[in-house]
Amino acid sequence: MRIRTPVTITETWKTIPGFLFYEASSLGRIKALSKEVRFGTQFRITPEIIKKPQPHSSGYLQMVLSEETGKKINCYVHRLVADTFIGNPFGLEVNHKDCDKHNNIIKNLELVTRSENKKHADKNNRGAGTQRLTRDQILEIRSMYDLGYKSSVIARQFGIKPGHVNKIGKRIAWPDS
């Protein structure tokens, strides 16, 4: 009989560059640090909390962080974690190695060029969606688009996003078909 020993994963926290009151963890979590906040004429200390990310329409997790000035910024969690633990002096893209947009653990993230990211997405069938359509489907989408069907209706029928339908209908995507 084999006895399994539990694996202990250490979570490391670091301050997020550009966001003094927030930290990112090596496990892909973001927390707001305790700070003193002014409410009218009084001051109050806010507690430290783990922030709950929300899914973006792109599938990535996002959240709103406040700069020191109070300006609110919409941020992708994977970018915050990568910028904190890897850095990104050349403005590269952040790739999820396992293609899971919710898995923001630092070991799952890597910096890549746009072309490397596209190749990774295509290799794992995670591209823009048009590469899985046949020529006949493209022609049918164009026909429906030209007849005035709503992009959302066409998109649902073909399992793609309305934006892709518009690009196909306007001959921006698949111009030769």
Q: What is the pLDDT of residue 130?
A: 42
Structural tokens at position 73: 């910024």
pLDDT tens column, 4-60: 767 677 999 999 999 999 999 999 999 999 988 888 899 999 999 999 999 988 889
Structural tokens at position 137: 């489907």
User: In Å, what is the CA distance from 156 to each residue of 11, 125, 149?
Assistant: 41, 19, 12
The answer to which of 59-68, 96-105, 129-138, 156-165 has the lowest mean pLDDT is 129-138
Which residues have CB under 8 Å from 150's CB, separation 6+?
Answer: none
Q: What is the pLDDT of residue 128?
A: 55
pLDDT tens column, 89-135: 888 999 999 989 999 999 999 999 999 998 888 787 666 544 578 88
Structural tokens at position 135: 């020529």
Structural domains of the chain sorted by starting position, each given as residue range(s) with its CATH number in brackets: 13-123 (3.90.75.20), 130-169 (no CATH)
